Amino acid sequence: MTEQETAHVAKALARLLTTPGDEENLRALVTVFATRTQALEDALFPLITDTGLDVAVGDALDQWGALVGEPRDALIDAEYRLMIQARILVNTSDGTPERMLRILSVLAGASGLHLAEVFPKGITLSYTRDTVSSTTLRQRIARAVRRALPAATRLDWLAEAPTVTPFAFAGFPGGAGWNQGTFSDIIDSDAGA
């Protein structure tokens, strides 16, 4: 993080060598220039701090997206910021497994990341999340991962699983049995139709 200098006058005066004679005039001249330099830095410093990717919003974030080639579509600022961060990783990807997992981690906010190589020249990726991603987010994740792959490498499988057990028989670790868990409402609603 860039730190703002707030003591230009004091630092400039401290750097002066003692000179015989016109010392006061020289100190006054240095003070004028250092004061103007401080005013300029005070006015321009927000351009550095308020437009960084981590704090950018609205149009500033759109400029970041245009710079790295990531369209906003209908994303809110927080989601778009993640897509831009991932796009930067994709644009600089060397195709290593570590980079692929880093991209997936940034995009999905995921844990339980797993990458397996599949002969010949393929990979599978899986991850867990606290919530199930929307279809749009899963498509963008898959598109970003494909862009980051090395040449002639295929993505065989990209799987997402919620961290909560969606369904398991009673007696299985984390299993609550029938009519319990993430999919129980879907099963019940389909059965009634």
- pLDDT class for 56, splitting at 50, 70, 90? confident
**Interval 88-99: pLDDT, tens:** 999 998 888 888
- pLDDT class for 144, splitting at 50, 70, 90? confident
- Range of the structural domain that residue 14 is part of: 8-49
| Per-residue confidence (pLDDT) for residue 85, from 0 to 100 | 92
**Interval 27-42: pLDDT, tens:** 899 999 999 999 999 9
Say if 125 falls within a structural domain.
no
State phi, psi for 49 to the nearest 5 degrees: -80, -30
- Is the pLDDT confidence value at 73 over 50? yes
Instruction: Extract the tokens encoding 44.
Output: 């321009």
Residues 6 or more apart from 187 whose CB is under 8 A from it? 179
| Per-residue confidence (pLDDT) for residue 173, from 0 to 100 | 58
| Per-residue confidence (pLDDT) for residue 31, from 0 to 100 | 93
Domains in the chain: how many in total?
2
Say if 107 falls within a structural domain.
no
SS3 38: helix
**Interval 151-163: pLDDT, tens:** 888 887 777 776 6
Specify the residue for token string 């970041």: 64
Is 58 in the same domain as 29? Answer: no
Instruction: Extract the tokens encoding 16.
Output: 């002066």
Sheet with 122-129: strands ordered across: 111-118, 122-129, 154-162
Is 20 in the same domain as 32? Answer: yes
